Structure 1
């Protein structure tokens, strides 16, 4: 429908300027369009704007910053065309109320000519559209008689489809469950399949498909179903289940597929716990560990963090699942400070039960990580425990390990400190330490006591 409205607009402005030498100024445009073409102009604005917004949404939907600020973009998507049309309507209304001496620039013959051109252009457009529809119908009819291929789904049905059809379209046509988070636009890898038979006869992957496959480290016999158009029979198996969460009636959850976003990771470990537990009753060991981990978990959650997991006498937490990277970094540092206070409180309350004070190490780092519900594919419960994966997690863990060698309670990466917007302070030391797996040392800030870390600004 966009060309229908756009043709009249172009012909009525630039067209008349070329044919009759009429000045296509804004003043003329208002005279020509208000009020007779007002609804057509509104329809044109709406169609073009919605079309563009849909494209931008599908382009940006996988980006974390876009998901966090969707309310802003939805607001702008409504406000911009509304205000634009309101301005046009007000200008058109005023142009009719004010006697500015503007005269009809057309002669009777010119007006008749432009109306004929309008009608002919609309007729030509519909003729082109009808021709395209006829060609498409011809292709669809021909598809029923052209060469076909067979897909055998491992542990599933065997179906037949015409050449030129993608594997994902075949699955959808025959109602075979097939994962596809991005909707078949090769922006994810969830639709990938393993080719069991017929690999040698398949066309090579396009550059777009190859880039996605390289990114996930897929072997040669794995292809994207949304891009693969078989030319011969083949047997495949889907690699990701399509009904995770749906089987139990749960609401769809983006973390089932994994989400890449910037977070802050905290690792904490209780020092010397093995030595401390020697000679103690099992019940006492469990009580002591529960006191430590339980109180530390409370400090993390009170600061806005999410406890990922308990690892023996250690704990891992994620900040920034909801919120901005800056908020996540500030929350992580606040949690570390609070945990330092908790440790001092525990040492005070348990001093009669402890041979020596409890000590701990905390590592904090901010960066991009993959958040996902690991294990959900093989469990009836769709919402398995959320966890974080990636280099950011590894660095935070290494920093926690460095605290022991450095003789400090907390080690915070410079990236985390910078994001938080906090000033380190006099009791915090800056240095660079080598991290296993990184080619260059990483800049960090250390505090002998976690309570010496900078406090958030009220």
Structure 2
């Protein structure tokens, strides 16, 4: 039952174990996953040669067969199986998604196949002194146990991948590389089984191996396998009996009421978490990590009945402290109400981008890698001294309007106007590289537009207009900030937040200090492939708020950017 998250689809702690059991599930699961992963990679080497398989096996066994390694594996397996069986007794208390149901079912089936595999290798080595290297393992499993081995690999690997997905699903870097994880999840077990089959056929052709077990030893082995399977089946039966008792107790026991603001009213037995109550009553509730207090997406605001709730556990406090959450915000997977409460969910049930076309993904905020640009009209106050208000507004509208059009024409989004400045976002619906290229193209085009404006306004202004531009690429939170105008039904303003925005703004300010029109961070330059160019000087500068200098490209004029860089790829 090796996974990196949980033996089941736990929505938090159960009456069998406190919320800290989630940490035990994670730790034991990671240990077992590391063992399973290295085991499968060792199998895959059979596609290269049997000698390489044996050499790597010797290294791997030096760790796993050592006294510390053996103790760690046994302890991790015992904890994981025990927590899995305990969680099995709680499954009637919540509605599990299909992923969690598969993980639970596969986790409970794994020992039925794993017992014979372990006893047939490590077991015979410990009991009868058999050298259970790949020569022996391939002979004993091919072809009679080949199907069972393939099924065992599927059960273990799917169970582990679901656990890893629940553990890492809330992390932005994990979501950005989803294609990579999906590819590895498919490739590793396929290569492992292919390596096993290839090496086994080669070993079969050699035909030099003989059965190392005597008739009496083989009979003892078969009896041991049967006894072990019988013990595990009895444990499953006992867990099923407890499951039935809890089901009866839940139906006859006291109940609590959870009222969802602007939503349904749910009734459930006492002893369930708020998230479990949502699941039982089929109420959509976000929980990217599966209810393991790792992602915080299940958090709710308690509107009434907070005084009846138990205080946060250490695990919940750590997560809430990291969020800076107020006292009435709790993690639904960790709160077990003892009396009726009223809550408001803080995130939609479908919070991942592109999961539901009917949901405005920016309403609750999403994280994306974007390129942020700030453009400021320099010395505008000096240029407009003594001018009529109409003239000032006219010139400002000419500048900001033309720059906004240029930004949008090159694929950017105009975030906001701030006096004589404009902020733009690139990459809301494109890759980070395309975003950087679009921003470069926008800057180059904006410089050309500025020349045109100065030509048309040369008689209206005492001096030509000039501007400064700063841009930086990195992660930012995109979300709607402010209230909605109910009468017109307009959405709140969309903006970007985070250090990427702050740094882009400061680089725009640095452009005046450096005497250039454009300052580009190294991150943006690297994404766009900006190399040496005339008028582009890489240098290290100090930026307010940062403890160390950063590398930037100071560009004399944006039109100095190479055309092949300042263009969006086809």
Question: How does the TM-score come out when normalised to structure 1?
Answer: 0.82
User: Aligned equivalents of 2:348 and 2:427: distance in 1?
Assistant: 28
Determine whether 1:142 maps to 2:223: no
Match of 1:56, SS?
helix
Determine whether 1:90 maps to 2:198: yes
Match of 1:47 in 2: 155
Match of 2:377 in 1: 270
- Is the deviation greater in 398-407 or in 82-91? 398-407
Match of 1:108 in 2: 215
Question: How does the TM-score come out when normalised to structure 2?
Answer: 0.67
Spell out, residue by residue over 1:64-105, the C-alpha distance to the aligned partner (whole angstroms, 9 max, x if none): 3333332222222212211211121122223333332x2233
Match of 2:112 in 1: 4
Match of 1:332 in 2: 439
Match of 2:49 in 1: none
User: Aligned equivalents of 1:316 and 1:365: distance in 2?
Assistant: 12
User: Aligned equivalents of 2:433 and 2:351: distance in 1?
Assistant: 33
How far off its partner does 1:138 sit?
A: 1.4
How far off its partner does 1:6 sit?
A: 0.8
Q: Is the 8 A contact 2:407 2:414 kept in 1?
A: no
Determine whether 1:259 maps to 2:366: yes
CA RMSD of aligned residues (A): 3.8
Match of 1:144, SS?
helix
Match of 1:228, SS?
coil
Match of 1:193 in 2: 300
Q: Is the 8 A contact 2:165 2:289 kept in 1?
A: no
Determine whether 1:131 maps to 2:245: no
How far off its partner does 1:400 sit?
A: 2.6
User: Aligned equivalents of 1:86 and 1:12: distance in 2?
Assistant: 21
Distance change >3 Å, CA 21–CA 455, structure 1 → 2: same
Distance change >3 Å, CA 277–CA 126, structure 1 → 2: farther
How far off its partner does 1:390 sit?
A: 1.8
Determine whether 1:23 maps to 2:134: no
User: Aligned equivalents of 1:50 and 1:59: distance in 2?
Assistant: 14
Q: How does 1:165-204 map to 2 (within 5 A)?
A: 165-204=272-311
Distance change >3 Å, CA 244–CA 310, structure 1 → 2: farther
Q: Is the 8 A contact 2:437 2:565 kept in 1?
A: no
User: Aligned equivalents of 1:382 and 1:10: distance in 2?
Assistant: 63
Distance change >3 Å, CA 225–CA 366, structure 1 → 2: same
User: Aligned equivalents of 2:204 and 2:251: distance in 1?
Assistant: 59
Match of 1:293 in 2: 404
Match of 1:388 in 2: 496
How far off its partner does 1:205 sit?
A: 0.9
User: Aligned equivalents of 2:490 and 2:157: distance in 1?
Assistant: 38
Among 168, 182, 189, which residue is 1:74 paired with? 182
Distance change >3 Å, CA 242–CA 70, structure 1 → 2: closer
Match of 2:79 in 1: none
Q: Which blocks of at least 5 consecutive residues in structure 2 are unaligned?
A: 1-108
Q: Is the 8 A contact 2:347 2:364 kept in 1?
A: no
User: Aligned equivalents of 1:98 and 1:415: distance in 2?
Assistant: 57
Q: How does 1:405-444 map to 2 (within 5 A)?
A: 407-413=515-521, 416-417=524-525, 422-423=530-531, 427=535, 428=537, 430=539, 432=541, 435=544, 438=545, 440=547, 443=550, 444=552
Among 63, 74, 81, which residue is 2:171 paired with? 63
User: Aligned equivalents of 1:16 and 1:8: distance in 2?
Assistant: 11
Determine whether 1:235 maps to 2:346: no
Q: Is the 8 A contact 2:538 2:553 kept in 1?
A: yes
Distance change >3 Å, CA 424–CA 268, structure 1 → 2: farther
Spell out, residue by residue over 1:230-271, the C-alpha distance to the aligned partner (whole angstroms, 9 max, x if none): 2333333334455899xxx83456544323344321011334
Match of 2:252, SS?
coil
Distance change >3 Å, CA 6–CA 403, structure 1 → 2: same
Match of 2:253, SS?
coil
Q: Which blocks of at least 5 consecutive residues in structure 1 are unaligned?
A: none
User: Aligned equivalents of 1:135 and 1:325: distance in 2?
Assistant: 52
Distance change >3 Å, CA 110–CA 65, structure 1 → 2: same
Determine whether 1:151 maps to 2:262: no
Spell out, residue by residue over 1:275-298, the C-alpha distance to the aligned partner (whole angstroms, 9 max, x if none): 388554988875665334313432
